[in-house]
């Protein structure tokens, strides 16, 4: 393998990491919005409908909040993973330069 091939492979790998990070951002944003919609639905059930729907509304709010904070945590882990991949790519490219 020549230097050009190795450099092309590194650039391709860097682009893959960027694409994966963009996919994660879109994916986690949609999941967070869905979790918030679940919590808002629960709040609407409690405030506007009331009665026998109050326990269901409370359950939806708890479930929505749990899902929302879980997605935030997963998004942070995905960002850390992408950053570690970038560091590995940089380290390998520096080693190849020598």
In a domain, 13, yes or no: yes
Q: Which of 58, 73, 81, 70 is CA-nearest to residue 34?
A: 70
What pTM did the predictor assign?
A: 0.65
Q: What is the pLDDT of residue 82?
A: 76
Domain count, the chain: 1
In a domain, 28, yes or no: yes
Q: What is the pLDDT of residue 51?
A: 87
Q: What is the pLDDT of residue 1?
A: 52
The runs of H, that is alpha helices, within the chain are 3-44, 54-97
Q: What is the pLDDT of residue 5?
A: 67
**Residue range of the domain that includes 55:** 3-92
Q: What is the pLDDT of residue 62?
A: 92
In a domain, 98, yes or no: no
In a domain, 76, yes or no: yes
Stretches in the chain below the pLDDT threshold 70: 1-7, 10, 96-98
In a domain, 97, yes or no: no
Q: What is the pLDDT of residue 98?
A: 61
């Amino acid at each position: 393998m020549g230097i050009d091939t190795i450099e092309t492979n590194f650039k391709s790998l860097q682009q893959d990491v960027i694409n994966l990070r963009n996919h994660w951002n879109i994916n986690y944003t949609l999941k967070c919005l869905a979790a918030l919609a679940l919590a808002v639905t629960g709040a609407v059930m409690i405030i506007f409908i009331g009665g026998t729907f109050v326990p269901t509304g409370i359950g939806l709010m708890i479930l929505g909040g749990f899902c929302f904070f879980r997605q935030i945590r997963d998004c942070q882990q995905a960002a850390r993973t992408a950053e570690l991949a970038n560091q590995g790519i940089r380290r390998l490219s520096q080693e190849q330069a020598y």
